[in-house]
Amino acid sequence: MIINKNNIYLKSPLFLKKILFNIYAYNLTKLKYHRIFKERLKELEKSQCYSYLELEQLQEEKLQRIIKHCYDNVPYYYDVFRTRRLKPTDVKTVKDLHKIPILTREDVKNNLSRLTAKNFRRGEMRLTNTSGTTGSPLFFYWDKMIYPITRAYLWRHWHWAGFNYEDKRITMHGPIIVDLNRNRPPFWMYNKWDRQLFFSSYHLSESYLPYFIDKLFDFSPQAIEAYPSAIYVLAKFMQERHISYKLKAVFTSAETLYSIQRDTIENVFSCKIFDVYGLSERVVMATECEKHIGLHLNMEYGITEIVDEKGNNLCIGTEGRVISTGLENFSMPLIRYDTGDISKILNNKCECGREFPMLSPITTKAEDQILLPDGRYISGSLLTFPFKPMVNIKKSQIIQDDVRSLKVKIVKSEKYSNNDSKILLEGLQKCLGDEMKIQLEFVEDIPRTKSGKYRWVISKIRRPMDFEKENI
């Protein structure tokens, strides 16, 4: 849901907001649960039981279909094939994908119209964009049918957690659903068409959180889907006051999920987190099952490669850049798209019996790693350890401006003391080394991005990740 603060919705009185919200929610829910949703979910419930060879065959059939579509209908890829003297029959399997160059964010920015399929009418597509947390949003087109298709993949994942159609859920994502300057409840909107209560992620302050907790108990949901940072604020507040609430599951997505967040959230809500890795670009989806040992790469949705900084494919178990090819969005197909994420394929099968490849949880984006003076990169997930004993810190954020120094913003509680600063600095110094100068900055709050997301680690130092297409 995209609601601009200058539009009619936010300028309307509360009673009219509720009407407008439910009109929008009805239309969106109707689209999400289009007839193709049931058809695709039925297929997915069946294919999750396939052997790896059957999944691979299905994936290659979908790859061949989208490659031919790109050659016939997408000007950008027609030129790529012609320049490299390729035909669609030259790219039949995953092993053939290296013949096509890696597609960067800059490529997409500079070729929006040429990457758009010419056999799609404007009314059959929707122009959308990423959240822009990495600096500026990236625009691209979706098929209208990508809504119900993606919803089918999500429902398959939710079924793994025992979440059913009749169950209610709370959603804590990025839409602005009430005025940002609102200082009294309600800080939520109810989508009666989908048994879904939207909590405003922009009002998670200590003065308002008791209202959210009261509404949580009043609504009695079976699950919460949220950005990790948003539900972590709520869970930490409840933990400090010895409040708990039992859910079937918590579904997290769209941000890095750190272990410190997972531990707190699972403890407060007496359930497991089922994490989802996906992109607005609709090229990859990986979902955590009931065994919680990694993310299942949904082979029907996309193809994922792990490559090094030169674009060479890496073997299983080796960490590298995540490159993904979408198999579902035909209006603007992205082939070998550089996601900007770092991960690895795990060298094991899941105990649940599903034979999807296992992806290591996405613990960092390339731009969210800290670069040390000796040239090493430190993942944001490793930096959570010095913060685990910091019970007197409400919020924090790490910012690196240059290779020898970083700043840590801290929102402290009333009990915070100089000893807390000492312990934190000692812990960070052990992780980062004595050459790194660390400055603590105490602030009143750390704002979210316009999309409602929250970046815990921000590195303004760029990695040398420009791939040389001619070497691929």
Mapped onto helix, strand or coil, the DSSP state of residue 398 is: strand
Q: CB burial class (10 A; 0-12, 13-18, 19+) of residue 15?
A: exposed
Distance of alpha carbon 205 from alpha carbon 237, whole angstroms: 10
| The pLDDT of residue 8 | 78
Q: Are 323 and 297 in contact (CB under 8 A)?
A: no
Q: Are 327 and 63 in contact (CB under 8 A)?
A: yes
Question: What's the residue count for the chain?
Answer: 472
Distance of alpha carbon 440 from alpha carbon 409, whole angstroms: 6
| The pLDDT of residue 132 | 47
CA 396 from centre of chain:
20
Tens of pLDDT along the chain (472 residues) come to 444 444 677 778 888 888 888 888 888 777 777 889 999 999 999 999 999 999 999 999 999 999 999 999 999 999 999 999 999 999 999 999 999 999 998 899 899 999 999 999 888 888 887 754 444 567 889 888 898 999 999 999 999 999 998 999 999 987 778 887 788 999 999 998 889 999 988 788 888 999 999 999 999 999 999 988 889 889 989 999 999 999 999 999 988 888 888 999 999 999 999 999 998 899 999 999 999 999 999 999 999 999 988 888 888 989 889 999 999 999 999 999 999 888 999 998 899 999 999 999 876 555 566 777 876 666 665 677 788 778 788 888 898 888 889 999 998 888 899 998 998 998 888 778 888 899 999 998 887 666 566 777 888 775 543 333 333 3
Distance of alpha carbon 293 from alpha carbon 414, whole angstroms: 38
| The pLDDT of residue 91 | 96
Angle at 383 between CA 380 and CA 389, to 5 degrees: 140
| Model pTM above 0.85 | no
DSSP assignment of 164-182: -TT--EEEE-S---S-TT-
| The pLDDT of residue 126 | 86
Mapped onto helix, strand or coil, the DSSP state of residue 260 is: helix
| The pLDDT of residue 381 | 59
Q: Are 180 and 5 in contact (CB under 8 A)?
A: yes
Mapped onto helix, strand or coil, the DSSP state of residue 133 is: coil
Domains 8-366 and 367-471 share a fold: no
Backbone angles phi, psi at 337, to 5 degrees: -80, 130
DSSP state of 312: P
Distance of alpha carbon 95 from alpha carbon 88, whole angstroms: 14
* Cis bond upstream, residue 148 (ω within 30): no
* Amino acid identity for residue 310 in this structure: K
User: For residue 255, what are the CA distances in angstroms to 94, 304, 318, 374, 455?
Assistant: 28, 19, 22, 28, 8
DSSP assignment of 198-217: EEPTT--STTTHHHHHHHHH
According to CATH, what is the number of the domain 367-471?
A: 3.30.300.30
What architecture is the 8-366 domain classified under in CATH? 3-Layer(aba) Sandwich (3.40)
Q: CB burial class (10 A; 0-12, 13-18, 19+) of residue 398?
A: buried
Q: Residue with structure tokens 């006051």?
A: 241
Domain parsing of the chain, residue ranges: 8-366, 367-471
Tokens standing for 318?
């080796």
Strand partners, 440: 408
Distance of alpha carbon 210 from alpha carbon 197, whole angstroms: 17
Q: Are 340 and 365 in contact (CB under 8 A)?
A: yes
| The pLDDT of residue 81 | 97
Q: Are 201 and 227 in contact (CB under 8 A)?
A: yes
